[in-house]
Chain A
Amino acid sequence: MIEARHLVKRFRDKKRGTVCAVNGVSFSCRPGEIYGLLGPNGAGKTTTLRMLATILAPSEGTAIVAGYDVAKDPQIVRSRVGFLSTATALYGRLSAQEMVEYFGRLHGLDEPTLRRRIDEIFTRLEMNDFRDRRCDKLSTGMKQKVSIARTLVHDPSVMIFDEPTVGLDVMAARTIVSFIRECRDHGKTVVFSTHVMSEVEKLCDHIGIIHDGKLQAEGTLPELRARFGIQDLEELFVKVVES
């Protein structure tokens, strides 16, 4: 379960002074649901998701993630969240297995559990052929699989994806999309941000359109279509952002 409550994030910028990147964002997402956060560049999507993943601390407001307050118990929240974004790179000099092992150990898994989890995940994601290959020698698709394995190793109940398909080819993007769907099917709470309307249509149970740090519209896809009287999601998105 994720429950964002009036999340605010302010940054200090040398040129612009204090900038409010996220301004009172509230939404909730239940287990077995996918919440899609849509917004143009600089709208505040990444900052919101980073606050949910406790990489950034909120300036005001808070969020309850997997039953814990992000401001009060960030470490416990991180142990229950899997966070994946295009910015979350791999350690190039570690092998695929070492990379996943490292994060498993940091999540406090004991060695027998870690072995079992790694075997399960590597088999499920068809990664056994390159498990001992260094990450910097892997193809983009293989790297994505290692990133997924890294987020899954501790079996988190909440998954957060920040534009996970940006820069990926069709095949790698499909892997991610099917993985997100799989997460929902396994009863995980999933929040993800994207630019790609087709992904939203395919995956999201709830949609939040964010612009200028504020949540401008929220609801299921049929609800939003009915409210704005527009069937095409891209048109709907543009209308919300421009209004």
Chain B
Amino acid sequence: MSFRNVGIVYRKELIDSLRDRRTVISMVVVPLLVMPLLGIGMLALSAKLVGQAEEEVPTVMILGGEDSPRVMADLRQLKDLHIVPAKPDYVDEISNRQIRAVVEIPEGFEAKLAAGESSTVKIYMYEGELKSSFGADRLQRFFRELRDRTIREHLEERQLQDTLVHPFDIQQKNVAPPEKVGGAILGGLVPYFVILLCLTGAMYPAMDLTAGEKERGTIETILCSPVSRTHLVLGKFLMVLTASIATAVLSITSMAVSFGAGKKLLLSVTNGEADAALQITITGKAMVSIFFVVLPLAVFFSAALLALSLFAKSFKEAQSYISPLMIVVVLPAVAALLPGVELDATLALVPVLNTSLVSKEIITGTYHWNLIALIFLSSSAYACAALAIAVKLFQREDVLFRT
């Protein structure tokens, strides 16, 4: 094994690829610019939309209530509600977003309150519509306060304690650290992106360095040199692997930076109240661990893509072989996001899915070292097999000179 020759081939392929606009775009520009722009853009947009929805004074309608003047007066005094006259087509008005919510006050509401009789206040809203839910929430808060006040008044009249209707409290306490809560929500997405980017980063160079060479006629040129075909394929493979890892590392770094920036932005809008998903912090240890479990997968992708595209006569043919591979990889990567799919010794042998699952666990701070070792070994075995196939294919004349 001459590492010198592998190094010469690798260096040339690196220079060649870095001068190729398409490789640079897929390897550097997309991860460094497009991903953060998309991430920050989405977060900024959602922060802006939430902010706008919160600032809006909801327009609501009151049905009935003519015989409950005190309640009506209290409602009208609320500064954060805009009340419009009642209309029979209120459902259409909610659907058309002309009003946000409607409250229906039952007949004789105040009289029933005074008599201690039960009645039902109905609130109509459009489920899933943020501004409608804000309007309905405001109405619900008003009537909850009214109910509490009424209970207190009734108890005072009868000279009874509050504890009669409120004998004990129930408190639910979360013992999971914030990163675990966040990890469960967002943790699944990070490995999904890393795995997908490892694949997409390797795709273009793999095709260019094999089928592209055949198409351009340089394959015969390089075969004239005394470098062995094994060294040649290893040099090319290292370049594809570099592109794969570089794309993933650059993407993750830019995602982490843009996530941090987006988090700050969202926290400033929501006055420091963050969703559980935003509590996630990816530690240095987690990043290093993910890198090591993803590495054999990147080797596997690079070698498999190299072997597949070497078989193609042209760049176009290589694309038609490789495109379906996206689905083959995406499916197991997505399966890890499904609830209930948990890492065990059997799943640790399933390529892609194992890496996706273990990365998700690492992000949430769980390290099953025996499973991590099993995944590393099984992924390395798949990677070695794919690399051996690529080397073998490079020795075959019917593949190199396929017409």
List residues of chain A with CB under 8 Å of any chain B CB: 11-12, 53, 55-57, 75-76, 78-79, 81, 83, 85, 87-94, 98, 102-103, 105-108, 150-151
Stretch in contact with the other chain, from B88-96, B224-232, B364-372: B224-232
Instruction: Give Cα distance in the complex from A164 to B5, angstroms.
Output: 28
- The complex places the Cα of A103 from the Cα of B222 at a distance, in Å, of 8
Cross-chain contact B224 with A57 (CB below 8 angstroms)? no
Residue contacts A-B, CB under 8 angstroms, 18 given:
A11-B398, A12-B398, A53-B224, A55-B220, A55-B224, A57-B397, A78-B224, A85-B220, A87-B217, A93-B19, A98-B12, A98-B15, A103-B225, A105-B8, A106-B5, A106-B8, A106-B9, A106-B227
How near does chain B come to A148, taking the closest CB pair, in angstroms? 13
Decide: B218 and A89 in contact? CB cutoff 8 A.
yes
Majority DSSP secondary structure for residues of B touching A: helix
Instruction: Provide the B206-249 mask, 1 if CB < 8 A to any CB of A, else 0.
Output: 00000000001110110111111000000000000000000000
Closest partner residue, chain A, to B19 (CB atom): A93
Contacting residue for A102 out of B8, B20, B223, CB 8 A: B8
Residues of A with C-beta under 8 A to B15: 93-94, 98
CB distance from A8 to the nearest CB of B (A): 14
Taking a contact as CB atoms under 8 Å apart, the answer to whether B216 and A92 are in contact is yes
B16 interface residue, CB < 8 Å from A?
yes
Shortest CB-to-CB span from A76 to chain B, Å, is 7
Instruction: Determine whether the beta carbon of A75 is less than 8 Å from that of B228.
Output: yes
B-side residues, CB < 8 A to A, are 5, 8-9, 12, 15-16, 19-20, 216-218, 220-221, 223-228, 397-398, 401
Q: How far does the alpha carbon of A25 sit from the alpha carbon of B376 in the complex, in Å?
A: 53
Residues of B within 8 A of A107 (CB): 225-226
Q: How far is the CA of A56 from the CA of B229 in the complex (A)?
A: 12
Task: Tell me the complex Cα distance, A87–B400, Å.
Answer: 14
CB atoms of B226 and A76 under 8 A apart: yes
Would you give the shortest CB distance from B157 to chain A, in whole angstroms?
A: 90
- Given A57-B397, A93-B19, A106-B8, residue A150 in contact with residue B228 (CB < 8 A): no
Q: Which residues of B contact A56 (CB under 8 A)?
A: 397, 401
* Closest B residue by C-beta to A12: B398
Q: Is the CB of B8 within 8 A of A88?
A: no
On whether A102 and B217 interact (CB within 8 A), knowing A12-B398, A76-B226, the answer reads no
- Residues of chain B within 8 A (CB-CB) of A79 are 226
The residue on A at minimum CB distance from B395 is: A57
Measured CB to CB, the closest approach of chain A to B334, in angstroms, equals: 37
